[in-house]
Structure 1
Amino acid sequence: MYKQVLDPVSHSLGLTAIFAVLPLLTLFVLLGGLRMKAHWASLIALGVAVMVAIVVYSMPIGQTLDAGAEGVAFGFFPIMWIVINALWIFHMTEKTGDFAVLRRAFSSVSNDQRVQVVIIAFCFGALLEALAGFGTPIAICSVMLVGVGFTPIKAVVLALVADTAPVAFGGIAIPITTLASVTGLPKEELSQMIGRQMLPLAILVPFILIYMVDGRRGVRETWPAALVAGGVFGVVQLGTSNFISPELTNIFAALAAAAALVALLHVWAPKVHEGSTVRPATPVRPVIAGAAHTDAALERRLAADEGRPLSTRATLRAFAPYMIIIGVLGVSSLHAVARQFDKATTLFAWPGLHVFNAGGEPLSSEIFKLNWLTAPGNQLFVCGLLTAAVLGVAPRQAVEVFVSTVVKLRWAIVTVCSVLALAYVMNLSGQTITLGMWMAGAGAAFAFLSPIVGWFGTAVTGSDTSANSLFGGLQVSAAHQSHLSATLLAAANSSGGVMGKMISPQNLAIGAAAVGLTGKEGDIFRKVIGWSILLVLIMAVLVWLQSTNVLSWMVP
């Protein structure tokens, strides 16, 4: 049995926090500073976390290793299991040539890359986040952006930055449901507050994406597309979260934004300034970036088809895998269906773990959940089987593509499992809570720091849901001590957490693996860290203003 002591160094949170932050400093310095490959950086950082847990926090060696083992298991299921199946589906569409048709379909809406990044990374990515979450939108949108002409590293960076606005509501509002359960606050109030906090971010993100593609002049030329997509997404997200249902928020917002943007493009087209680096989408080989070989015969056929108009049948076939995903995940998320599927869930205490928090209560993270029917990864596996049938992929070829996908993701699997092991060791030993409580000592100024705590939690765990589970109670406790609104700070944890997702090693590894850039996670990290910090600081200022008389009217 291990009981957490949050200030083991001279009974000082400040001194203890110096040691607690070492694993994270190690990870980010190795990634961003020394450009070390993510799997080695995460393994070294895991070793530092284990040493801090054992030496500083006096956690028994066996319990420390058990905590890491549970993190490894969670890293593979559900997280990497989702990514494996999502990319399996995508790779089958590459083999059949349907992805090339999908690329042409997106180009038919607009062949301007600045508009395409908003359609694919922002609108379509938000829909994938609503249905599957975790790394699915990053994996799929990255390779789709490569398919319409972006370089692999640019595609990953754009997909990571785009996957922010929908994350607070996540897949079927799981982050908010989790936050309500750990804080005891009404889910409806949290949904309302988060919707009001996310509106400025939703409007801003499409402008940032266009700026990343073509600079300030590009924004001047395509601002109507950014404003329509971001404005409609933000307004629908606000309205749905406040007046309808948090579970439907991202689905409604993503579909409305895409429909509004397509409608705009029927009456308006962006101009391209002289000297712009933007170019119309060009055909690319129908394989993942970095692959060793392709099907030459298939490429010749696709090249011959490139100039012909798309038939309705070919277009429907190209979109079929994604319609299958939307259908299967959408039906599975219905309350009545999910309640029946939940009956197949297996819960068990992780062997060897007996950890209590500082108050003497057992930690819920000791319980491992195998949700056989409701796990998005299992549902995506079913989608893969249906996709193979619809596209006419032979069983043997489908198996070969699946094995190839796992092989390509092998280092990403190591990275994600290592980082989740690090997160579990830090969480169960008390290192993460030490850092959070130390920051909570800022008093009324904690309103500014509150989103940063959520940002930090998501950066470590790779999940806004996990960050809410980790720090939701802490935010409420800090709110009471600082005489601030508990709803405001709890919501800020989720709203601030979304900006941490783009720098989390798990998502960096997923994006890099998807486009054949395994080992380049440090390069990607350096390109997104500035945007992550800028956006979380904007959210911090907004939350601080909401804690004052200036914007207190926004708090339910």
Structure 2
Amino acid sequence: MTFTQNFTAVGDNLALSAIVALIPILYFFWALAVKRMKGHIAGLSTLAIALLVAIIAYKMPASMAFMSATQGAIYGILPIGWIIITSVFLYKLTVKTGQFDIIRNSVLSITEDRRLQALLVAFSFGAFLEGAAGFGAPVAISAALLVGLGFNPLYAAGLCLIANTAPVAFGAIGIPIIAVEGPTGVPAIEISKMVGRQLPFLSVFIPFYLVFIMTGFKKSMEVLPAILVSGVTFALTQYLTSNFIGPELPDILSALVSLFALAIFLKFWKPKNTYRFAAEQELAATSTARKLHSNQEHYSGGQIFKAWSPFLVLTGIISVWGIPTIKLALTGHYEGTNAILKAINSIGHALTFMPEVSLLNNKILNSAGAPISAVYKLEVLGAAGTAILIACIITKFIVGISWKNWAITFGETLNELKYPVLTIGSVVGFAYVTNASGMSTTLGMSLAKTGSLLFPFFSPFLGWLGVFITGSDTSANLLFGNLQKITATSIGMDPVLAIAANSSGGVTGKMISPQSIAVACAAVGLAGKESDLFRFTVKHSFILVILVGIMTFLQSHVLSFMIP
């Protein structure tokens, strides 16, 4: 038995089919933003509704619909859930051993201003992790760091999700852009150049926007010099690397330049007023606060280095895991002659499992009649979460925790994250059902009907929709990249601009993706509060995607000289 995707399944009408395809998405918005359901309940019920729409409206065989849900759920656990578990575990190890107190004080020694801490940790450090790993690790780790520094958990998660907008398109060593070359045939370097002529404008804006969200316009202007140093250095490096090197390094280099530039700048410049949270302002006048401040000077350089070592080790290992050749070996696909990589390849091959999805593999035919393969992708050694686990093992020796307490902490982490992992599994299952049934393509085709004048504006909304559904800029590019190219060519828009807009628009959907919301809540201990975080980020997502839409519209109709 086979199933041919029909993108006009409801009444042989694209508009009507799109309205029906929107039902699970609108329900999810309602469940979180209005009903304020717990994340796992909203995720499971959204998955159930998506299954019903796929089976009843899109005529997808029930067995295939359910198996596509299992394929997504397993991908939600590995690699995504695995990243969250190991990231939170690493953070808890530093807290339990007292090392995070030293980390907190080392950041305070650079600046006690909460606005500037957000720029250093959420924007710059988070962008570095996005460039090296992606898949949830940046938000999980940077949000946990902010909570440890004293940020409200909801604020920390929301700020890190919004800050993650700037680097997502070049995340995980440029995978979103490299991947879209395949289905579109457009060279990755050309897409990289165009994205590098869009995102830097957001990269300049995001640091100001973060501080504005925290404190309002007046207090944002107090730290405008630092905001400009953070944003301009990031944006300039992002433009140069994306246009003259390629898509692999913009995030890593931009983040490092921004981080060090701001840290050095703060050695010579301080804001007139140090911004603290309301509760801290009351504490600041007490002798206890003064005593805490004086204790910041008691840690030696060696102690500070030791405290940061788990995250330095994490950074190093994740960076190595992201190198394309090593990634091939870790997943058992290396075909070179290097002896060390061949040895790693043999282990990676043994720990990589690609079983077919029963009743689904090659049973779904796309509109061209070609079968779509379906496998459970289980890359145990190559997963970023495994890299973080290795960092956790090395951290055991750095911080001197016993194996018993190490294992107890891991067990505590698993227990804390059982509902967030369930949430992630259910929302990724929903994404896979939406894709396999053809619902997501129906929505994409509907947006593509907006015409030659308006399509450049709506083009980024396709990417935004794709990332909301799939949780990944890479997946959104694979889902809609070729549709963008075909539509752009038919209406006279430059296809490189349309493909780039898909990626640039997609980054603004990351902050409201069900996966990202679940990851962020898990990292800061807000399991069950996903609705609160969604309500915090959703308006900012709309604002930013509209900005990208305006930018794309202008580049298509007025500023065409910016297209490579």
Scaled by the length of structure 1, what TM-score is found?
0.93
Q: Measured at CA, do residues 350 and 313 of structure 1 come closer, stay the same or move farther in structure 2, by a change above 3 Å? A: same
> Which whole-Å CA distance do the structure 2 matches of 1:520 and 1:274 have between them?
27
Listed as ranges, the gaps of 5+ residues in structure 1 are 284-301
Q: 2:385 matched to which residue of 1? A: 377
Equivalent residue runs for 1:159-170 within 5 Å? 159-170=160-171
> For each residue in 1:213-241, what CA deviation from the matched residue of structure 2 results, as whole angstroms up to 9, or x when unmatched?
21111111001111111110011011011
Given that 1:107 and 1:281 are in contact with CA atoms closer than 8 Å, whether structure 2 keeps it comes out as no
Query: 1:332 deviation in Å?
Result: 2.6
Equivalent residue runs for 1:392-403 within 5 Å? 392-403=400-411
Amino acid at match of 1:412: P
1:431 aligns with 2:439: yes
1:326 aligns with 2:320: no
Amino acid at match of 2:485: V
1:501 aligns with 2:510: yes
Counterpart of 1:28 in 2: which secondary structure?
A: helix
Equivalent residue runs for 1:342-361 within 5 Å? 342-343=331-332, 344=349, 345-353=352-360, 354-361=363-370
Q: 1:407 matched to which residue of 2? A: 415
Q: 1:124 matched to which residue of 2? A: 125
Q: 1:388 matched to which residue of 2? A: 396
Q: Measured at CA, do residues 555 and 260 of structure 1 come closer, stay the same or move farther in structure 2, by a change above 3 Å? A: same
Given candidates 304, 326, 332, the residue that maps to 1:337 is 326
> Which whole-Å CA distance do the structure 2 matches of 1:278 and 1:207 have between them?
24
Amino acid at match of 1:328: I
> Which whole-Å CA distance do the structure 2 matches of 1:182 and 1:351 have between them?
26
Q: 1:546 matched to which residue of 2? A: 555
1:317 aligns with 2:325: no
Amino acid at match of 1:150: F
Query: 1:303 deviation in Å?
Result: 6.9
Q: 1:297 matched to which residue of 2? A: none
1:450 aligns with 2:459: yes
Given that 2:467 and 2:507 are in contact with CA atoms closer than 8 Å, whether structure 1 keeps it comes out as yes
Equivalent residue runs for 1:134-213 within 5 Å? 134-213=135-214
1:532 aligns with 2:541: yes
Q: 1:221 matched to which residue of 2? A: 222
> Which whole-Å CA distance do the structure 2 matches of 1:485 and 1:125 have between them?
32
Query: 1:341 deviation in Å?
Result: 2.5
1:65 aligns with 2:66: yes
Q: 1:20 matched to which residue of 2? A: 21
Q: 1:287 matched to which residue of 2? A: none
- Cα root mean square deviation, aligned: 2.0
> Which whole-Å CA distance do the structure 1 matches of 2:305 and 2:141 have between them?
18
Query: 1:275 deviation in Å?
Result: 10
> Which whole-Å CA distance do the structure 2 matches of 1:473 and 1:100 have between them?
49
Amino acid at match of 2:503: S
Equivalent residue runs for 1:516-527 within 5 Å? 516-527=525-536
Query: 1:329 deviation in Å?
Result: 1.7
> Which whole-Å CA distance do the structure 1 matches of 2:283 and 2:393 have between them?
31
Equivalent residue runs for 1:50-61 within 5 Å? 50-61=51-62
Equivalent residue runs for 1:65-104 within 5 Å? 65-104=66-105
Q: 1:9 matched to which residue of 2? A: 10
Given that 1:113 and 1:280 are in contact with CA atoms closer than 8 Å, whether structure 2 keeps it comes out as no
Q: Measured at CA, do residues 555 and 226 of structure 1 come closer, stay the same or move farther in structure 2, by a change above 3 Å? A: same
> For each residue in 1:285-304, what CA deviation from the matched residue of structure 2 results, as whole angstroms up to 9, or x when unmatched?
xxxxxxxxxxxxxxxxx979
Amino acid at match of 2:440: T
Q: 1:299 matched to which residue of 2? A: none
Query: 1:10 deviation in Å?
Result: 1.8
Q: Measured at CA, do residues 276 and 57 of structure 1 come closer, stay the same or move farther in structure 2, by a change above 3 Å? A: closer
Q: Measured at CA, do residues 305 and 70 of structure 1 come closer, stay the same or move farther in structure 2, by a change above 3 Å? A: farther
> For each residue in 1:372-429, what CA deviation from the matched residue of structure 2 results, as whole angstroms up to 9, or x when unmatched?
3322112111111111122212112111111111111111111111101101001000
Given that 2:113 and 2:276 are in contact with CA atoms closer than 8 Å, whether structure 1 keeps it comes out as no
Given candidates 489, 493, 513, the residue that maps to 1:484 is 493
Query: 1:371 deviation in Å?
Result: 2.4
Listed as ranges, the gaps of 5+ residues in structure 2 are 285-290, 333-348
Q: Measured at CA, do residues 143 and 200 of structure 1 come closer, stay the same or move farther in structure 2, by a change above 3 Å? A: same
Given that 2:69 and 2:432 are in contact with CA atoms closer than 8 Å, whether structure 1 keeps it comes out as yes
Query: 1:309 deviation in Å?
Result: 2.6
Q: Measured at CA, do residues 274 and 553 of structure 1 come closer, stay the same or move farther in structure 2, by a change above 3 Å? A: closer
Share of identical aligned residues, percent?
A: 40
Q: Measured at CA, do residues 304 and 158 of structure 1 come closer, stay the same or move farther in structure 2, by a change above 3 Å? A: closer
Amino acid at match of 2:62: I
Counterpart of 2:160 in 1: which secondary structure?
A: helix
Given that 1:102 and 1:319 are in contact with CA atoms closer than 8 Å, whether structure 2 keeps it comes out as yes
Query: 1:449 deviation in Å?
Result: 0.6
Amino acid at match of 2:358: P
Amino acid at match of 2:469: V
Given that 1:148 and 1:281 are in contact with CA atoms closer than 8 Å, whether structure 2 keeps it comes out as no
Counterpart of 2:552 in 1: which secondary structure?
A: helix
Amino acid at match of 1:314: Q
Q: Measured at CA, do residues 339 and 512 of structure 1 come closer, stay the same or move farther in structure 2, by a change above 3 Å? A: closer
274-283 vs 351-360, greater mean Cα deviation: 274-283
Counterpart of 1:488 in 2: which secondary structure?
A: helix
> Which whole-Å CA distance do the structure 2 matches of 1:305 and 1:62 have between them?
65
> Which whole-Å CA distance do the structure 2 matches of 1:23 and 1:360 have between them?
27
> Which whole-Å CA distance do the structure 1 matches of 2:275 and 2:475 have between them?
47
Q: Measured at CA, do residues 39 and 281 of structure 1 come closer, stay the same or move farther in structure 2, by a change above 3 Å? A: farther
Q: 2:520 matched to which residue of 1? A: 511
Amino acid at match of 2:144: V
Given that 1:214 and 1:278 are in contact with CA atoms closer than 8 Å, whether structure 2 keeps it comes out as no
Given that 2:321 and 2:384 are in contact with CA atoms closer than 8 Å, whether structure 1 keeps it comes out as no
Query: 1:349 deviation in Å?
Result: 2.6
Given that 2:321 and 2:382 are in contact with CA atoms closer than 8 Å, whether structure 1 keeps it comes out as yes
Q: 1:252 matched to which residue of 2? A: 253
Counterpart of 1:168 in 2: which secondary structure?
A: helix
234-243 vs 346-355, greater mean Cα deviation: 346-355
Q: Measured at CA, do residues 11 and 307 of structure 1 come closer, stay the same or move farther in structure 2, by a change above 3 Å? A: closer
> Which whole-Å CA distance do the structure 2 matches of 1:51 and 1:249 have between them?
42
Counterpart of 1:368 in 2: which secondary structure?
A: coil
Amino acid at match of 1:350: V
> Which whole-Å CA distance do the structure 2 matches of 1:274 and 1:426 have between them?
45
> Which whole-Å CA distance do the structure 1 matches of 2:276 and 2:259 have between them?
29
